[in-house]
Amino acid sequence: MVDVEIFYFSGSGNSLYVAKELSRRFEHCEISPMVKMLKEGPIRTRGKVVGFVFPIYLASIPSPVREFLERIDPSSADHIFAVATRIGTFSIAPSLLNKYLKRKGRRLDHFEYVNMLSNTPTGLKPGKGSRSWARETGEKDIERIDRSIQPQLDRIAKEIEEKKSRRPFLPLNDLIAIVMDPISRNTRTEVGYFVDDTCIGCGTCERVCLSEKVRMVSGRPRWDPDTPCYYCFACFNYCPEQAILVRKKYDLKEGRYRHATAEEIASQKN
């Protein structure tokens, strides 16, 4: 049995960064990608303390995290925590986490948000995506955010080691979740990805696609309509030529958001 076990999902590297930063603050800690674990049959924890690190998508929990929570057996843990990365927006994640854990006879002991940069220019806004997005998510911006969250990560790790409870006030969140959850669970809404003539057929988009929705066909990416999207924007962000764009939302080639290498993102599948 390990002392601390962290499971993570990350499309652009924000949550991977937080998971790694937390893990180095514990003496005996293991981190594992949820996507890989979903391919390996029964998921049983081994840690005395078990944590989940993931991003907020559509004000909710990403679909692979939902599936992971449905399948996990957390019986080894005497303390369960979660850290959700976001851009500062509201979410129903605390209520959903508690709902899934209650089905296992458990509850969430500690929940935190960590505010990071947005990995998408489109967000939930109607019409065009943010035209200044790329200029606000460069390396210096990432470094600034990383420095700013260190004290919070220090505190989170200390409280987890001491097994302190930090539970959000849930009644209002629970009520909102009743309305929002059916909408946020819809994984069939298509992002309008398309590729322009600067595509070099390198296959990076296929490698980093954690849902395996992207398939290379005759040297060009195709988004399989029968495979649900994780909405992680990895294919968009990791294209080396910025050849992947979003129809009617974003057609600029002024930069992309990467908080990890393409290899680190793709390795979550292997």
Query: What pTM did the predictor assign?
Result: 0.95
Q: Let me know whether 95 and 57 are in one domain.
A: yes
Tell me how far apart the alpha carbons of residues 198 and 185 are, in angstroms, rounded to a whole number.
34
Given 136, 167, 184, the domain boundary residue is: 184
Per the CB < 8 A criterion, the answer to whether 57 and 44 are in contact is: no
Q: Which of 145, 164, 184 is the last residue of a domain?
A: 184
| Beta strand pairing call for 244-246 and 193-195 | antiparallel
- Both tokens of 211, joined, read 């849902």
CA 213 – CA 90 distance, rounded (Å) = 28
Whether 147 and 261 map to the same domain: the answer is: no
Q: Mark whether 87 and 15 lie in a shared domain.
A: yes
CATH number at residue 264: 3.30.70.20
Full residue range of the structural domain in which residue 42 is found: 4-184
Q: What is the mean pLDDT of each run of 10 residues along the chain (270 residues)?
A: 90 98 96 95 94 94 95 96 94 92 94 96 80 94 98 97 85 76 72 96 98 97 95 97 96 97 97
Domain count, the chain: 2
Residue-level pLDDT at 177: 74
For the chain, the distance separating the N- and C-terminal CA atoms, rounded to the nearest angstrom, is 23
Residues 30 and 163 in one domain: yes
Q: For residues 40 and 72, state if they share a domain.
A: yes
How big is the chain by its Cα radius of gyration, in Å?
Answer: 18
**Is the same domain home to 124 and 146?**
yes
pLDDT number for residue 78: 95
pLDDT at 124: 63
Judgement on whether residues 156 and 227 belong to the same structural domain of the protein: no
Rounded to whole angstroms, what are the CA distances from 176 to 89, 115, 164, 172, 182? 14, 21, 27, 6, 11
Same domain flag for 47 and 165: yes
* Total number of residues shown for the chain: 270
Q: For position 169, which CATH number holds?
A: 3.40.50.360
Boundary (domain end) residue, out of 160, 184, 208: 184
Q: Which two tokens stand for residue 90?
A: 């509201």
Chain center to CA of 152: 19
- What confidence score (pLDDT) does residue 174 get? 78
